[in-house]
Amino acid sequence: MSLDKELVDALKQDWRTAELDERDTAMLTFVEKLTKNPSSIWRDDMDALRKVGFDDTGILQITLIASFFNYINRVADALGVGRE
């Protein structure tokens, strides 16, 4: 979480151009791949997260949180939640 409005705006625009540290960049790269093409996740994706300091618990937490948001957004989309 951040109260930095400039960072929030940059993340909304395109997280790849936001000023993020190596750890956040690796995490978001993983989350984007998990979201767009989950079957392409491989050992090297986990290794990239470990390289910047995430342990197995951290990788599991990233995966579970991203997967939950992907799931719940798909449920909401399918039911038309928020559309009027």
Determine the Cα angle at 18 with ends 45 and 66, to 5°.
Answer: 40
Over the chain (84 residues), the average pLDDT of each successive run of 10 is 80 90 96 96 97 98 97 93 78
- The residue ranges of every structural domain in the chain are 21-79
Long-range Cβ contact pairs of 31-35 (< 8 A, separation 24 or more) = 31/62, 31/66, 34/63, 34/66, 34/67, 34/70, 35/66, 35/70
Express each pLDDT in 2-26 by its tens digit: 578 888 888 889 999 889 999 999 9
Q: What are phi and psi of 25, to 5 degrees?
A: -65, -45
Which CATH entry fits the domain spanning 21-79: 1.10.10.10, 1.10.3720.10, 3.30.200.210, 1.20.1290.10?
1.20.1290.10
Cβ atoms 54, 61 nearer than 8 A: no
pTM of the entire structure?
0.85
